[in-house]
Structure 1
């Protein structure tokens, strides 16, 4: 069996993995079920175990054996590390010393920047901004979940759009003013009655809610003014994340990643307008590949020390200010 270095990017909708040889060349890659690091929830623990088992089966089918893994998991925190390591050992036979675990946004940062180099804004189903300083200090902004935060994300866009159409309905008794937007949303929901929307939103998860942002973009393309306004506001909210990082951690280049950025040009235009003079890039992000190459090159040892410092912070006293962790 050929020995490989693994990179794993675990997301709530899907998890992507890449296997590299010691030179960082891709040997195999694939996608398995989505999961989270919320292993305190038995259902989520099972989901993660299933995803790891699926990846292990794919490696066996390719006649590959892992000698180490760098993994980024949505919702990861140090309290979950031991249990996730146990799942990785069960599925892949990897000892804790062969693992480097972090959350997905930090791994995405490592795929784009060395510590201290830039600020990363991620806008997918949720939204968050992060800066990792040269000394390992991490600053996070946003990312507190769709119920109270994640401004500018797919979920935020979808919920703002639903709110907008129902406010029009309440005020006028008709959806005529937002016909294009309502029609696009209802087509994705699968029905136009309130019980259809209620079941879709309250009976689903944030990934399914976030998928409705595609309908908002479709309506904007058709000229719907409300949809265009919501998308511009999403760009403004993502720019605010970047501005918050600049205020707290200094001016740096901004890297933007996530599917929301591809919804409609008005989002990127608004971000650019609100960040004049700031170098902004929208790189193609292959986080799993970057993780595998990080493991293969041995650079994960430098990141291991950084992660140890950021995942075990002192307990703050009441009234102190701390950076918010993603839910």
Structure 2
């Protein structure tokens, strides 16, 4: 006989990103009860495919919560790509999935509040995309970057991936082969699962920025293999992220700088370039838990 665990009311914090989603359940005192992972999604639910991805992720998280015997009493979620244009539709999706109203905000706000209290500093994030944000004590926000892979997102995983593919095929156009960048070509093709341009094109133009971002790991592996271009590209990514910090400082004034996001861990060259570009500034590289912070914000 299957034993169904007793349901415990809990506050749920969810961090939904392009390459993965994380959830944490806390009791009313903010003590962690359980946590879990799901696939990536975005709030670009005006796109049918992205809407289906988000619905799938929410359904999966709901199943995981039930498995832990957790009944959502409150939901706070940060979503990449969230904005006023999708606010009403997104809230309906969350209500349908969890049976309670959700407090939704974008991943940029979620990232800041997981690191600083309003007014304490500047946050620069480098994940699948990139952005910088300062939230003042009165709630006013100043943001730089974060305009998506088709426009910018410099220094992010997707930016690194696309610059690498661009350079790789320019080399092929010049030489008719990939011999000048053997390690990078190998790692890109291993990640794609094929060597033909048709396959790489499909991988890139599938419309899934999270999938594109996985190619940044291939660039990282090529750099660790000694590929000079890959190493320099990752240093360049660090310099681009430092520019985001500089722009925030020009807009708001000097303040502690916190660099966060998985792209920072691709290679030591990224952090080295940030440190060198911003020498003398108050810099940290925290590892915030946005889902936990959301769950604990009663």
Name the TM tier (shorter chain): over 0.9
201 and 85 in structure 1: CA distance in 2 versus 1, 3 angstrom threshold: closer
Within the candidate set 275, 284, 291, 2:287 is matched to 284
2:29 aligned with 1:26: no
How far off its partner does 1:245 sit?
A: 0.4
Q: Which residue in the other structure is 1:136 paired with?
A: 139
Match of 1:88 in 2: 94
Deviation, 1:37, is: 1.7
Establish whether residue 111 from structure 1 lines up as the match of residue 118 from structure 2.
Answer: no
- TM-score normalized with structure 2 length: 0.92
Partner-residue secondary structure (3-state), 1:29 = strand
What's the CA shift for 1:288? 0.4
Structure 2: distance between partners of 1:84 and 1:196? 33
Task: Quote the residue 1:244 is aligned against.
Answer: 247
What is the TM-score of this pair, normalised by structure 1? 0.84
User: What are the Cα deviations for residues 18-40 of structure 1, in whole angstroms up to 9, with x where unaligned?
Assistant: 11012211111112333222233
- Superposed CA offset, 1:179-205 (max 9, x none): 222222122222223223222212352
CA change 1:248–1:231 in 2 (3 A) is same
In the TM superposition, 1:237-276 aligns within 5 A as 237-276=240-279
Structure 1 alignment gaps of length 5 or more: 296-327
In structure 2, distance between residues paired with 1:246 and 1:165: 35
Counterpart residue number, 2:189:
186
Paired position in structure 2 for 1:305: none
| 1:208-248: CA deviation from partner (whole Å, max 9, x where unpaired) | 21111112111212222111111111111000001000100
> Any residues of structure 2 matched to 1:1-327 within 5 Å, and which?
1-95=7-101, 99-203=102-206, 205-295=208-298
Separation in 1 of the partners of 2:265 and 2:132? 18
Q: Mind listing any 5+ residue stretches in structure 2 that lack a counterpart?
A: 1-6
Partner Cα separation in structure 2 for residue 79 and residue 121 of structure 1: 24
SS in 2 for 1:145: coil
RMSD: 1.7
Q: Cα deviation per residue 1:116-158 (whole Å; 9 max; x = unaligned)? A: 1111111111111111111211111111111120111111111
Distance 1:47 1:170 in 2: 36
